Structure 1
Amino acid sequence: MQRTLLIYESKYGATEKIVKYLAPVLGPANYCTTDQFKDSYRDFDFIVIGSPVYSGKLDPEIYNFIENNREWLNDKPLALFSVSLSPEDGMNNLDEISGNIKNTVSKKALGGTLKLSAMTEEDSKALDIFSQQVGFPLKDMDNFNLEEVTSYALELKEIKENLIPPAPQREEFIDKFLTSHNTCTLSTSYQNRVRSTPIEYNYFNGFIYLLSEGGEKFANLPLNNQVSVAVYEDYTGFNNLAGMQITGTSEIISEDTPEYEDVLRMKGLKIDFIKRNPVKMNMIKITISKVEFLYSEFKKLGYEAKQIQNFKKLNFNH
């Protein structure tokens, strides 16, 4: 699987804090400071380098690391991020160093923090001189934004996914897996209300259909049509992985439509029996937007075990 290595420096903790939010989203991943770097880390597939900005410059150890490791870094997809009170300052530094590295795929300036009482005397004096030069007010500031950091993590995850070579007949494998299974976990949400439901499904004409008497999921679906579906087999070992995460949009199919009746026939149910049922049977249709398929068969073919298939753009309704 594609592995991510995050390399950073962090004098007062803000950059390290960001790295520890990024790493789990980008997993499998590891992180280290420049002095903790090991030769074996060169085998990682995707590299992220982060640095704070002090007195208008990135940490000197970051410059040194890039200069001393330029040869192998040029062969890796590389993302760069800075942490500073001034996004413009951070981006200017990233533009400067990215010009010397071949495969820079992303640059991001993130907000940092300034706590004057925590600074060393040397840094405090340097910052005082810098603030006088650029007219920067010296006071405690906090521009750290967790939502911005998590959005950045998802941006990097998408970049990383797009680097995975597609396995041949990937869509055929997906169709076969969905057709050969019939039980999933449907996850719905709205604001702070989250619901996961084990439920039987049918895969028909490229859509997922679920028939349900009702439940709390129907409180979420009209307000947020985005859903996640998981289909998987029992774990028996790393050589036999088979699990699928599906992102999609949902809609409720009216019982008065031909589609409702077609799905019932496909399921082998008699339409008259369903309609005479004392309780209503609600039909959910899921349009698949993205499939993340962890499947050992791909590995046996010489490709990444985790394959990503995007189908169409999500249709948000809220």
Structure 2
Amino acid sequence: MSKHIEVNGKLVQANKRYSDLKQRQKSQISQWLYDAYKKQVAENITDDEALEPVFEKIDEAQIWIPEKEIRAQYRGKKIKFKKRMEATVQRDSFKFDYNKAANYWLQKDANSNKMDRAQVMERIVSFIEGHNTCTLATASEGHTRCTPIEYNFVDKCFYFFSEGGLNFRGLKKNKNVGIAIYEPYNGFANLKSLQIEGTASLIEPFSEEYLKIMAFKKIPEEAMRKLPQPMALIKVVPTMFDYLDSDLKKEDYSSRQHYVV
């Protein structure tokens, strides 16, 4: 049977328990108790000193709960608060240096043994022509897409015929794209891949350039014109290549060759 007393002109339940509080009130008090625990640990103060601000906040929020209930909750939650604080400290102590990681190869390349530009491009073109499929990466704010797609390399540019897809969402707002061509991983001694950055554009259907790429792929013009709508033709003009080939070490060159167009 509940007992009531008058507090600040209001009739309140004298034997009210913490479990009787609303969930919102319990969440508030739990956070205040955690803050009190952090203060107690940092300043090496007593429970009473740590809890004093908590009681003030409870009064300001006009929450009625006997102080003994709050003290019992605090004692019961201390182990949980300790683990929570240790996990937070551990998480915050890990500060990854993104800039350092991003500049890793740039710094390493500064002292690497580089091939002549003509030689590098010859190797790059040979690698491109030795494959026909890549990953085309497009992105815009809040959206990224990596599309496996067949390519055609003509006049030092990449061309992709496409029926459509989510990669066009990125292309609409961002013409900067990435291309990756690679061979299956077979150990560090056999690495071969090519990363390309470039600028994309769309070629007008049945324009001179469009017909040229159709002829290169041996696509009959009549067949393309019979489609409900012609396929989109994406053109990517490369601006940078990163060629990786473990075999280059046998020639006393760095396995990674950076080429800016």
TM-score range, shorter-chain basis?
0.5 to 0.7
Structure 2 CA distance for partners of 1:197 and 1:296, relative to 1, 3 Å: same
Instruction: Report if aligned partners of 2:133, 2:151 keep a CA contact under 8 Å in 1.
Output: yes
Instruction: Report if aligned partners of 1:167, 1:298 keep a CA contact under 8 Å in 2.
Output: no
Structure 1 SS opposite 2:148:
strand
Distance, in Å, in 1 between the alignment partners of 2:106 and 2:190 is 26
Distance, in Å, in 1 between the alignment partners of 2:94 and 2:108 is 21
CA drift at 1:167: 1.7
Q: Which has the larger radius of gyration?
A: 2
CA drift at 1:22: 3.8
Higher strand share: 1
After TM superposition, the score normalised by the length of structure 2 is 0.60
CA drift at 1:278: 2.7
Distance, in Å, in 2 between the alignment partners of 1:296 and 1:160 is 16
Say how many residue pairs are matched.
168
Query: Which residue is 2:252 aligned to?
Result: 302
Query: Which residue is 2:239 aligned to?
Result: 289
- Structure 1 position 234 matched with structure 2 position 188: no
- Give the aligned residue type for 2:153: Y
CA drift at 1:219: 1.6
Distance, in Å, in 1 between the alignment partners of 2:239 and 2:254 is 21
- Structure 1 position 178 matched with structure 2 position 162: no
Structure 2 SS opposite 1:203:
strand
- Map 1:163-242; keep pairs closer than 5 Å: 163-168=111-116, 169-242=119-192
CA drift at 1:164: 2.9
Query: Which residue is 1:143 aligned to?
Result: none
Deviations 1:178-223 (A, max 9, x none): 1111000000001111111000001111000000000111121121
Deviations 1:78-110 (A, max 9, x none): xxxxxxxxxxxxxxxxxxxxxxxxxxxxxxxxx
Instruction: Report if aligned partners of 2:113, 2:252 keep a CA contact under 8 Å in 1.
Output: no
CA RMSD of aligned residues (A): 2.0
Query: Which residue is 2:202 aligned to?
Result: 252
Structure 2 SS opposite 1:222:
helix
- Give the aligned residue type for 1:172: E
Distance, in Å, in 2 between the alignment partners of 1:257 and 1:162 is 44
Instruction: Report if aligned partners of 1:244, 1:293 keep a CA contact under 8 Å in 2.
Output: yes
Distance, in Å, in 2 between the alignment partners of 1:245 and 1:195 is 16
Instruction: Report if aligned partners of 2:205, 2:230 keep a CA contact under 8 Å in 1.
Output: no
Distance, in Å, in 1 between the alignment partners of 2:135 and 2:167 is 12
Deviations 1:292-314 (A, max 9, x none): 11112211211110110000xxx
CA drift at 1:159: 5.0
Structure 2 CA distance for partners of 1:164 and 1:204, relative to 1, 3 Å: same
Structure 1 SS opposite 2:210:
helix
After TM superposition, the score normalised by the length of structure 1 is 0.50
CA drift at 1:162: 4.1
Unaligned regions of 5+ residues in structure 1, if any? 1-15, 28-156, 312-318
Structure 1 SS opposite 2:254:
coil
- Give the aligned residue type for 2:218: G
- Structure 1 position 25 matched with structure 2 position 102: yes
Q: Structure 1: which 4+ aligned runs deviate by more than 2 Å?
A: 16-27, 157-165
- Give the aligned residue type for 1:178: I
Structure 2 CA distance for partners of 1:19 and 1:259, relative to 1, 3 Å: same
Q: 1:267 aligns with which of 196, 201, 217?
A: 217
Instruction: Report if aligned partners of 1:226, 1:248 keep a CA contact under 8 Å in 2.
Output: yes
Query: Which residue is 1:75 aligned to?
Result: none
Instruction: Report if aligned partners of 2:196, 2:239 keep a CA contact under 8 Å in 1.
Output: yes
Distance, in Å, in 2 between the alignment partners of 1:258 and 1:21 is 45
Instruction: Report if aligned partners of 2:191, 2:246 keep a CA contact under 8 Å in 1.
Output: yes
Distance, in Å, in 1 between the alignment partners of 2:247 and 2:108 is 21
CA drift at 1:236: 1.4
Structure 2 CA distance for partners of 1:162 and 1:271, relative to 1, 3 Å: farther
Distance, in Å, in 2 between the alignment partners of 1:166 and 1:25 is 20
CA drift at 1:165: 2.9
- Give the aligned residue type for 1:276: K
